[in-house]
Structure 1
């Protein structure tokens, strides 16, 4: 398969009348409030018509187009239309603030953008590129791409041609653009389809509910490609809605769903209903469910919750989907030869004994370690080389591996915070907070959170003359709101007289709190979670 568009053509020929994209109804949403469902043939017709319009405007391989279409099915249609010509998409996080959008557009060198009406002004303010609005009332017929800024490359797309540039937070203050190609997407889709066990996909039958954003590879690349390969339906709401979750699953006839760590505890908090187990679900797929509620969730709702591990850079994922399943642990599967090899190593790269903590490293195979992985970080060869050491991709995740090969997640060794599925760079948050006049020094770290897996905590040394009190903490949060998307904001602030540092003045974050202590239980910890939630509403 040279392009994903070719995969769409093949799927439409095999399953023309099968549903491909479904949007559940949701009153008050900015698009399709009554919902929609499009077949493979309908998506192909729309993508083909859009592709011709982009071609007629001079666009082709070597160009990049930003998509600010949120979770509208038009995102998929545009992605596949652009893909037919070898144009790469740059999906836009709708929660990005102005400076974050500006960085994304400048760094990616996107040459045009397609946006929902609610996103158009923000994109136009962030970069000097033409922005075309997607209008549901006229849709494809009225869509007019801007003229191409340059001639496209004359060669046809290949499996190694860039199809997407997806930004992922790293240990530096700026997100890194992961270059993804067709081979990556196909490898990810086939891996999903090949897992079997509790994750067995029935060709042309499954309807998978994915309440995750298209700017993530989970919905936007992996599950989308799996759908093209197996003829299943992809159900994508605008976001997770706890109050209508089960009703939406039943109304859309979902047979499976994806989740993040925040979803199971929220659903478990709801009062039990007689119809809790009245559904057609075969599995849930996700990461971060607390082992303390895993078995109870499955018993109450009668659906296996399959924990998986994957990254933007890997595409493919490992899954604990075969019996016996270990739901009282953080097991996430075994190496999967033919898709992804894995091992656990120490700081020198040597493999550690069973049940010994170490870093998870992965590859495709010894002879072709990078096959099907991301192509590299845009404009950052140094970070790419650092990630690929000794023929293995270094994940930064600390795990153990049992004698039977099962892998168990422990923690992240990289300077990352994983909140509700979002990777947050601690360095980026530190850079935003240190400019506040009351902040002398700051160290940002992750703290456990029952609802969101991890939350953001800022340990602050006040500037001379600044007060170390609740008022200052809230002022710091408000200051950060102008610089960071809501999910990156500190949910906790702790004031300290100083930060522990090494001889070279590097902050020793592991010494900020006693080993084994809960930082949130510290008497000095100021809880800003409610204020953070209010900031989310302001940015939505």
Structure 2
């Protein structure tokens, strides 16, 4: 046995790029991308990606150079998940909702050589590049033009300042070599993706993933979600958010149809579901809330599978969404894992339980995906596994093939979270007796009131049960006596706003369902809560607001 070792025939580097080649062979005449009145087949998409990859290389982009993209969920954005990697470059998708200063910082930090810019982001890239210090090379720009009514009618399409572009995206398609031999990785550990964590933190970090990790998370996600061949996938999750949780590559692997859209709301989602017989979609819990609260909602004719993650979805929201015919799967992942690594792993016998109990079980994050090596919840003081009692808090740690290589140019940050054989997530959870974990908070979001650790997620779940509340977020507010007390920020449903509940009424509602020390001591009504482009509520903004409000009071007893 000792003479049997890895050789070229059995050790080709794993890469998700090969999924596109196979799709062109197996599903060549089947639709790959649908965008308004445009439809491509998998043969056409494969050919377009080869041409774009060839043109990228002809612009002087070499292996390891960073190519950035500022675009919504349009065909070019999808194609670049293959084309950029096929050219040997590292793909960096940038959040469209970032301000010019942050975009400028990310472009400089990543040393991007080339930037693909959607036509509605010309003002953003112009301002970002104007902030480059003298002497710093300016990346070359490629314009992604869009002549659809939706794009051309936007005010920003006609008011954008003059920006110098090398050429358009379609120019690259036209002049590219259809016989281009794409650059295969020499090692499956070759960096392939750079993603900046710009979610709910105020200091983004550049997460680097390798070809192997992307391959593993893609296959793992398809298996766990039980995605069949040729699904119809609606792109309600931004591809710039952790590369759409790996599903750009996943849809190629199963020959799916990608329904692309520039922007969406509940009305558009329901319209596209009906028009294209959508079978699958992903989104943060805010999308579930949007769908279940929309005045246009009506029971679906055919079930639609929806995968949600990004924040623990309240059981009440899950219940309302499933009552419309959506089949909700719940998972957990981070930018640092390139996708979801924990799922609720539904058991058939749970289907016999009452709806409220099913929603409660589904709200748990669950167990590791098959491709992950190990996941645990550790006591921060002892470093040992917490009790499986569903109440003892600890930090989620994990290890597996899809964990990032590390943070770009940040060895200290990498070492801080990757130690003792684990990746430390910073997320606080409990482990249930059945081995399923449930997130209770980010470590920075835990409220310590009178010495008690208080889960803001648990309070939010109760607030979402209130019939008038549309969205809720709970953060710590300083208190002279208790140290911190829960402060709830809520927005109300539109049909309720004419007869809104009082702060006292919401407190009373919570008091009936929570221990007294967990009841919000402050309720702040807002038209809309601040959110990232992927629907995560930006608690760091709300924490600053609560802090600026001063002490919650001098009451000396729990109410």
Determine if the TM-score, normalized by the shorter chain, exceeds 0.5. Answer: yes
CA drift at 1:4: 3.5
Distance 2:171 2:200 in 1: 43
Matching of residues 384-533 of structure 1 within 5 Å:
384-414=414-444, 448=460, 450=464, 451-452=470-471, 454=473, 515-518=517-520, 520-521=522-523, 525=524, 527-530=525-528
The aligned counterpart of 2:190 is 161
- The residue that corresponds to 1:91 in the other structure is 93
Task: From the superposition, tell whether residues 139 and 459 of structure 1 become closer, same or farther in structure 2 (CA, over 3 Å).
Answer: farther
Give 2:47's aligned residue.
45
Say how many residue pairs are matched: 421
1:344-383 paired onto structure 2 within 5 Å = 344-347=377-380, 348-355=382-389, 356-364=392-400, 371-383=401-413
1:89 Cα deviation after fit: 1.5
Q: Note the aligned Cα RMSD (angstroms).
A: 3.3
Could you list the per-position Cα deviations for residues 158-190 of structure 1 after superposition, in whole angstroms to 9, with x for gaps in the alignment? Answer: 322222210004897420000012112111111
1:528 is displaced (CA, Å) by 4.7
Displacement of 1:212 in angstroms is: 1.5
Q: Alignment partner for residue 225 of structure 1, among 249, 259, 262?
A: 249
Residue 218 of structure 2 corresponds to 189
**Following the alignment from structure 1 to structure 2, what is the Cα–Cα distance between the partners of residues 142 and 531?**
41
Q: How does 1:103-182 map onto structure 2 within 5 Å? A: 103-127=105-129, 128-136=138-146, 141-143=170-172, 156-169=185-198, 173-182=202-211
In structure 1, distance between residues paired with 2:20 and 2:75: 15
Deviation string 1:285-344 (CA, Å, 9 cap, x unpaired) is 44533112423432x212321111111111242111321454224312213344242111
C-alpha distance in structure 1 between counterparts of 2:185 and 2:388, whole Å: 48
Question: In the aligned structure 2, how far is the partner of 1:248 from the partner of 1:144?
Answer: 28
Deviation at residue 120 of structure 1 after TM alignment? 2.4
Q: Equivalents in 1 of 2:271, 2:426: separation in Å?
A: 38
Instruction: Classify the secondary structure of the residue corresponding to 2:337.
Output: coil
Question: What's 1:508 paired with?
Answer: none
Q: Distance between the aligned counterparts of 2:302 and 2:184, measured in 1? A: 49
8 Å Cα contact 1:209-1:254 kept in structure 2: yes
- Supply the distance in 1 between the matched residues of 2:41 and 2:406 (Cα, whole angstroms): 34
Structure 1: 5+ residue stretches without partners: 24-33, 146-153, 365-370, 418-444, 462-513
Give the aligned partner of residue 505 of structure 1. Answer: none
Alpha-carbon offset, residue 94 of structure 1: 1.2
Secondary structure (helix, strand or coil) at the match of 1:142 reads helix
Look up the SS of the partner of 2:304 in the other structure: coil
Q: Which residue of 1 aligns with 2:65?
A: 63
2-structure distance, mates of 1:388, 1:60? 30
Quote the Cα distance in structure 2 between the aligned partners of 1:61 and 1:297: 45
Could you give the per-residue CA deviations for residues 180-210 of structure 1, whole angstroms, max 9, x where no partner exists?
A: 1211211111111221xxx31112x211223
CA distance in 1, matches of 2:528, 2:18: 48
Structure 2: where are the runs of 5+ without partners? 1-12, 130-137, 148-166, 175-182, 351-357, 448-455, 465-469, 481-515, 535-559
Alignment pair present for 1:208 and 2:240: no
Question: Closer, same or farther in 2 for the Cα pair 1:376/1:456, shift >3 Å?
Answer: same
- Retained in 1: the 8 A contact 2:285–2:308? no
With structure 2 as the length reference, what TM-score do the two structures score?
A: 0.68
In the alignment, the residues of structure 2 paired with residue 457 and residue 241 of structure 1 have an alpha-carbon distance, to the nearest angstrom, of 31
Q: Which residue of 1 aligns with 2:163?
A: none
Structure 1 residue 411: deviation in Å? Answer: 1.3
Deviation at 1:392, TM superposition (A): 1.0
Measure, in 1, the Cα distance between the counterparts of 2:387 and 2:478: 36
2:28 counterpart of 1:12: no
Q: Shift of the alpha carbon at 1:115?
A: 0.6
1:341 matched to 2:374: yes
Distance of 1:229 and 1:414 partners within structure 2: 38
1:170 touches 1:415 (CA, 8 Å); kept in 2? no
Q: Distance in 1 between matches of 2:173 and 2:278?
A: 35
CA contact (8 A) 2:15 2:214 kept: no
- For residues 17-68 of structure 1, give each alpha carbon's deviation from its aligned partner in whole angstroms, at most 9, with x where no partner exists: 2222333xxxxxxxxxx34332211111111111111222222202111111
Corresponding residue for residue 328 of structure 1: 360
What is the CA-CA distance between 1:416 and the residue it aligns to?
Answer: 10
Name the CA shift for 1:261/1:54 in 2 (closer, same or farther; >3 Å): same
How far the C-alpha of 1:13 sits from its partner, in A, is 1.4
Separation in structure 1 between the aligned mates of residue 111 and residue 118 of structure 2, nearest angstrom = 20
CA distance in 1, matches of 2:419, 2:28: 45
The correspondence for 1:314, drawn from 304, 328, 337, is 337
